[in-house]
Structure 1
């Protein structure tokens, strides 16, 4: 009984959970929009990830490190690996590839349906949003000097394919999921839904993100190995990043 009570005390309340997730992302989004309206010297995509390096990622990683220090006596990532089981690297890759294939199916089924569903809202908002903030407007992006484009692509690759997914998975699927384990199998669902909503800068892809990341979140929770979700997340972002770079440098 004492062990159970000790475990429960280490969990976090839902209000604190919401604060941990939405205060950092709200701060990032607000600063991103504010600076974006003041300048357009660098692409919005590069601006966003530079701000993430100084605002979002340090806060998320800092929460994990501070929790480890508080609970285990030293700054580490231990609080993200609280119930971690070892797994062969080839099994992790296999899970990652299967989940990536599932994400591909969702991209041609759920994504178009969601776009159609939210089209009335997004079409009304589109004229109100400066073209500067539209990451999909490749023609606008190509107006920047080549050295800026190269810097944007390199930064996007490093931060979107490697740094961002790893920190987010350590924070969401590792630390936060373990802190609400009192909800049992609903914990991955709760974290996945909040993870989707936390993308305030991309508000019209929530259903797609939930459908894509829920299986990865659940498998990582069931197998007690967040390397599965990290691998999957990196694969997804690698695909989107390569697609972006290819579009930028297409003739």
Structure 2
């Protein structure tokens, strides 16, 4: 990454990390209140909100920067972390990311539940997209599975990794070893629709992003992020058994 293209304005970095998440929360609140998808599981409303917020904002900004800097809409030209790992090394760090992330998730999950019941107890129940889908009909569950697979497992994670790790992280190299920590913290806070999960996300994402940064592999981040989200799909599919 050309040092002239690094983003050294802290305020701009914070804005670029958090604005898409703020927009998502606004859209989520809007769609929840206007009742467009009244009666549907809240995860579907959240997925619908993502389509009209983070996806166009993050992709749009990548297209804008690509056109401005390179004169083309090929966003992959402006991305960093495009190193190639040998298959054995890739698999090793993929497994390490999954195992370490899983262990940290189990360890921190009780704290997440505690924060939801105490620090964030003031948040209305309708704002929490995590519901017991067994209370819904089979048709609603199938729709939730489709939304979870295409939006939460494929589209959103891929675009987030392109934006946060492929674009923003390489432009923060001037921060040295703190760039990964800063990126992970802001990415976790960016999930304004579930603030009680911030610490959990930091714990899970920090090892992965460290591996991504050290091994210069955006593909590693995309694969692990997508697989992690796929657990949501699996949990919903079990309700159809």
| Correspondence list, 1:60-99, <5 A | 60-79=58-77, 81-99=79-97
Q: Does 1:151 align with 2:147?
A: no
Q: Corresponding residue for 2:124?
A: 129
Count of residues in correspondence between the two structures? 238
Q: Tell whether the 8 Å contact from 1:92 to 1:231 is kept in structure 2 after alignment.
A: no
CA spacing shift, 1:239–1:91, aligned 2, 3 Å: farther
Which of residues 42, 45, 50 in structure 2 aligns to 1:44? 42
Q: Tell whether the 8 Å contact from 1:81 to 1:174 is kept in structure 2 after alignment.
A: yes
Q: CA RMSD in A?
A: 2.2
CA spacing shift, 1:63–1:89, aligned 2, 3 Å: farther
Q: Does 1:34 align with 2:25?
A: no
Q: Corresponding residue for 1:221?
A: 213
* Runs of 4 or more above 6 Å deviation: none
Matched position secondary structure for 1:81: coil
Which of residues 196, 204, 221 in structure 2 aligns to 1:212? 204
For 2:81 and 2:190, the matched residues in 1 are separated by 25
* CA deviation after TM superposition for structure 1 residue 142, in Å: 4.4
Q: Cα deviations across residues 114-142 of structure 1 (Å, max 9, x unaligned)?
A: 433554223x32xx614x4433321xx44
What TM-score comes out, normalization by structure 2 length? Answer: 0.89
Q: Tell whether the 8 Å contact from 1:57 to 1:164 is kept in structure 2 after alignment.
A: yes
Q: Cα deviations across residues 54-98 of structure 1 (Å, max 9, x unaligned)?
A: 221111112122222222221122355334211234532332222
Which of residues 51, 54, 61 in structure 1 aligns to 2:52? 54
Matched position secondary structure for 2:83: coil
What TM-score comes out, normalization by structure 1 length? Answer: 0.86
Q: Does 1:186 align with 2:178?
A: yes
Which of residues 80, 102, 105 in structure 1 aligns to 2:103? 105
CA spacing shift, 1:212–1:143, aligned 2, 3 Å: closer
CA spacing shift, 1:179–1:112, aligned 2, 3 Å: same
Which is worse superposed, 17-26 or 164-173?
A: 17-26
Q: Cα deviations across residues 128-181 of structure 1 (Å, max 9, x unaligned)?
A: 614x4433321xx44544333312211111111111111111111110001111
